[in-house]
Amino acid sequence: MNYILASASPRRRELLALLGHPFEIHVPRVEERVDPLWTAAEAARNLAQQKALDVSASFPGACVIAADTIVEIDGILLGKPVDAADAARMLRLLSGREHRVVTGVCLQLGSRERVFSRETLVRFYPLSGEEIAAYVRSGEPMDKAGAYGIQGRGALLVEGITGDYFNVVGLPVAMLAREIAPFACEGGGAQRRGVFS
């Protein structure tokens, strides 16, 4: 089975490597559009599906893995900030409060697909204006949903989490391992493998 990661994210690349399957990387070329009526889970799953379908069209015989992460607070969906001011706005929203991080994942193999999502709760410490400005100046928030990276300097903002840490990083890798094994074997007559096989 050939596997393709439909993502430019180095974090997702590192996490997918834990599964032990060789894979290629092909970055999807889709304009990420979110319906304002979607929930965070719907947005994450739909965006992951768009990415997977885009790459799968060129590689119909491969198992394409795509993901998208959305941060939600007070019903407001936070993707990647468009600029430094937007990043600071997001961080002010999250300061001292709990928010949800939802990662949607889509597995696409020809006409077959499996779409699922995982949710993690994250609590931030109260952040001063100076702390927010310094973190934004670091540049780290600019390519991350919710304007922070828990695996980087953003860890200093986090008071605690409830749920899957790797889901916040961008890929619920343990859940993916359990979803991908039966999916890759469906219809091929192969025996189902465990997560370490």
**CATH of residue 57:** 3.90.950.10
**Residue 101, domain member (yes or no):** yes
- pLDDT recorded at residue 71: 96
Q: What is the pTM of this model?
A: 0.90
User: How many domains are contained in the chain?
Assistant: 1
Residue 114 structural domain? 3-185
Could you tell me the mean pLDDT of each successive run of 10 residues in the chain, 197 residues long?
Answer: 92 95 93 82 96 94 95 93 97 98 96 96 98 97 94 97 97 95 64 54
**Residue 195, domain member (yes or no):** no
- pLDDT recorded at residue 190: 44
Gap between the Cα atoms of 67 and 167, Å rounded: 10
Indicate the SS3 state at residue 31. Answer: coil
Residues annotated as catalytic (active site), given as ranges: 68
**Residue 192, domain member (yes or no):** no
Gap between the Cα atoms of 32 and 102, Å rounded: 16
**Residue 193, domain member (yes or no):** no
Give exposure, 130-164, as e/b (b: 16+ Cβ within 10 Å).
Answer: eebeebbeeebbbebbbbbbbbeebeebbeebeeb
- pLDDT recorded at residue 185: 66
Cα 195 to Cα 15, 116, 180, 183, distances in angstroms: 14, 17, 9, 12
**Residue 145, domain member (yes or no):** yes
- pLDDT recorded at residue 149: 95
**Residue 194, domain member (yes or no):** no
